[in-house]
């Protein structure tokens, strides 16, 4: 069936995105390979069915892979700056559809409209970054120990990149991977979350239109829809040298094992259990702004959401009272209404996990300062809205060690010097994002030193949530170790090759080895 949604201008937004009828969608370009069972996309905003989307069958998948393989043979031969021009056009197209795509992200996923628009802006930003990168895929030149020899290394396109993305950033994370992979000469096969399939279809339409306008072959951008079984097609496929997967630690471990079993490469961006350390020298007003946005933004469903606030005992009560006062000002409701701060969780299963987490806090000996709870009544008919909660807890509580994708903030107390707080901050299995609030230069530098945060992201006087595309994004430990987006993250999408050229009439061997005939 086609589009069902009519509320909040969503049908009009989908029309602007070129998907009035998803049955005329595209997996690789002009053809639609989707003959599997259908999945339903329900909006957490109002609980209504948006559309039903056909999933990818094994036969469909084989056609997609064949098309992608053929496209790669052509795409890799196009000079990188020319590939950059295609990515530039893709970014321009995103600028044109920023409003309808942002609205779709907000409605299908449940994040605020401003965050939905911001997510599309991230896509635009990574395109801009990638365009510049297309003229900077640098190798290195080395001096050879052998006379008359030159050594250098260069990077070549890797092949087909498989992308598995999560519901919480239904378009941006795909773009982080795709823009860089395209610049590198790779083609992409993307499995979006089954909870946000329309966002995937919208992006595929945008990409396909740009490829068609440039007379490029189908298969440079491919889409497959479905649940974990469709994802397994990617992870077990030897034709895919790299699988980039974003999601839970549990999912990431499965992906890593499947890909490693065939000696493929995986890029993992998994869970976070992010903390802000609040030192006695912190600016309290700044701390509250950063902590509240980090904890309740996207209803606590970011991998960089602030889960723990580690506060020095000398200012603990002051910070706690300021937080409770700030939370009292939060407005919960339809995320398409820009007056609201907090929207819904993705579905009722997420609500269940949120409630169970709050119960665990009490069971383990914690205290709920703001007890939270599920909301019902007018405006909350979807059953996906909850109140942001604050709990006093200990870092060794099992529930604190676990990442709950919901707006629950744990307050933890530390005493003594900063190293005690850093030990608490590092005392979890995840290692994604971290922050310290302090005006003390020595504390800031210690936090960023080798003895400081063990996370992939460490911030001073800003929160844990939100990142610019110029820096590499990712984390350590069970967060997976992958890096996406900026800096030199492009290298993971390419294969490195060392070259040695002998421009003499002799053939000396390395290490002085003699082999005379």
Q: Identify the pLDDT of residue 35.
A: 80
- β partners of residue 502: 149
The one catalytic residue in 108, 115, 122, 269 is 269
- With tokens 């069958």, the residue in question is 57
Q: What is the pLDDT of residue 392?
A: 98
Q: What average pLDDT does this structure show over 238-261?
A: 98
Report the share of the chain in percent with pLDDT over 90: 91
Nearest residue to 222 via CA among 52, 30, 29, 84: 29
Q: Which helix (H) or strand (E) holds 496?
A: strand 494-502
- The structure tokens listed for 469 are 């595309």
User: Per-residue pLDDT averaged across 331-351, rounded?
Assistant: 97
Q: Check if the beta carbon of residue 198 is closer than 8 Å to that of residue 104.
A: yes
**What is residue 455's DSSP assignment?**
S
Average pLDDT, the chain: 95
**Regarding predicted confidence, which is higher, 20 or 236?**
236
- Gap between the Cα atoms of 360 and 354, Å rounded: 10
| Rounded mean pLDDT, 103-121 | 97
What does DSSP assign to residue 299? G
Phi, psi of 89 (to 5 degrees): -65, -35
Helix axis angle, 228-235 to 58-75, nearest 10°: 40
Mean predicted confidence (pLDDT) in 196-213? 96
Kindly tell me if the per-residue pLDDT of 141 is higher than 50.
yes
pLDDT at residue 27, as a whole number: 56
Please classify residue 30 by burial: count the beta carbons closer than 10 Å to its beta carbon, then call 0-12 exposed, 13-18 middle and 19+ buried.
exposed
Mean pLDDT, residues 274-280 taken together? 98
Q: Is 303 a catalytic residue?
A: yes
How many Cβ atoms sit within 10 Å of the Cβ of residue 227?
14
**Going by C-beta distance under 8 Å and a sequence separation of 6 or more, which residues neighbour residue 512?**
none
- Asked whether the beta carbons of 448 and 458 are under 8 A apart, the reply is yes
pLDDT band at 10 (very low <50, low <70, confident <90, very high): confident
Question: Are 366 and 397 spatial neighbours (Cβ–Cβ below 8 Å)?
Answer: yes
Question: Is residue 201 within 8 Å of 22, Cβ to Cβ?
Answer: yes
Among residues 127, 184, 199, 303, the one annotated as catalytic is: 303
Lowest mean pLDDT among 18-22, 132-136, 223-227: 18-22
Handedness of CA 234, 236, 242, 245 (dihedral sign): positive
Helix (H) or strand (E) holding 213: helix 197-213
DSSP class of 488:
T
State yes or no: is 269 an active-site residue: yes
Q: Does residue 330 contact residue 29 with C-beta atoms inside 8 Å?
A: no
**Residue 307 DSSP SS3:** strand
């Amino acid at each position: 069936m086609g589009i069902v949604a009519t509320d909040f201008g969503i049908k009009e937004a989908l029309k602007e995105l070129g998907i009035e009828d998803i049955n005329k969608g595209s997996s690789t370009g002009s053809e639609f390979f989707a003959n599997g069972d259908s999945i339903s996309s329900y909006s957490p905003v109002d609980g209504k069915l948006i559309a039903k989307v056909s999933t990818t069958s094994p036969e469909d998948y084989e056609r997609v892979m064949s098309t992608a393989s053929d496209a790669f043979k052509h795409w890799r031969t196009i000079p990188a700056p020319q590939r950059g021009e295609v990515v530039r056009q893709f970014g321009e197209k995103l600028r044109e559809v920023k409003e309808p795509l942002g609205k779709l992200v907000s409605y299908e996923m449940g994040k605020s409209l401003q965050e939905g628009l911001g997510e599309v802006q991230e896509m635009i930003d990574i395109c801009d970054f990638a365009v510049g990168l297309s003229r900077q895929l640098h190798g290195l030149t080395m001096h050879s120990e052998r006379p008359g020899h030159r050594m250098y290394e260069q990077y070549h396109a890797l092949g087909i990149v498989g992308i598995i993305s999560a519901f919480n950033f239904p378009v941006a994370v795909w773009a982080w991977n795709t823009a860089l992979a395209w610049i590198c000469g790779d083609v992409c096969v993307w499995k979006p979350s089954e909870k946000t399939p329309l966002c995937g279809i919208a992006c595929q339409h945008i990409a396909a239109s740009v490829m068609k306008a440039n007379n490029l072959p189908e298969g440079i951008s491919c889409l497959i829809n479905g649940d974990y079984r469709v994802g397994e097609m990617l992870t077990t496929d030897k034709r895919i040298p790299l699988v980039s997967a974003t999601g839970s630690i549990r999912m990431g471990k499965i992906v890593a094992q499947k890909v490693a079993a065939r000696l493929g490469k995986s890029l993992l961006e998994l869970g976070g259990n992010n903390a802000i350390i609040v030192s006695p020298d912190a600016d309290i007003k700044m701390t509250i702004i950063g902590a509240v946005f980090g904890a309740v933004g996207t209803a606590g469903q970011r991998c960089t959401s602030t889960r723990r606030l580690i506060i020095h005992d000398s200012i603990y009560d002051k910070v706690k009272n300021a937080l409770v006062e700030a939370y009292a000002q939060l407005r919960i409701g339809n995320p398409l209404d820009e007056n609201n701060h907090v929207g819904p969780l993705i579905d009722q299963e997420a609500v269940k996990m949120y409630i169970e987490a709050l119960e665990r806090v009490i069971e383990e000996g914690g205290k709920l300062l703001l007890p939270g709870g599920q909301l019902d009544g007018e405006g909350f008919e979807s059953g996906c809205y909850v109140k942001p909660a604050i709990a006093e807890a200990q870092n060794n509580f099992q529930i604190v060690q676990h990442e709950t994708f919901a707006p629950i903030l744990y307050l933890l107390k530390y005493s003594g010097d900063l190293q005690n707080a850093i030990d608490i901050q590092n005392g979890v299995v995840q290692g994604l994002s971290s922050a310290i609030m302090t005006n003390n230069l020595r504390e800031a530098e210690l936090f960023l030193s080798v003895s400081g945060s063990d996370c992939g992201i460490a911030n001073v006087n800003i929160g844990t949530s939100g990142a610019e595309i110029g820096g590499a994004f990712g984390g350590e430990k069970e967060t997976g170790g992958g890096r996406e987006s900026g800096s030199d993250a492009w290298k993971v999408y390419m294969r490195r090759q060392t070259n040695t050229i002998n421009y003499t009439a002799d053939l000396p061997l390395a290490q002085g080895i003699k082999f005379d005939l």
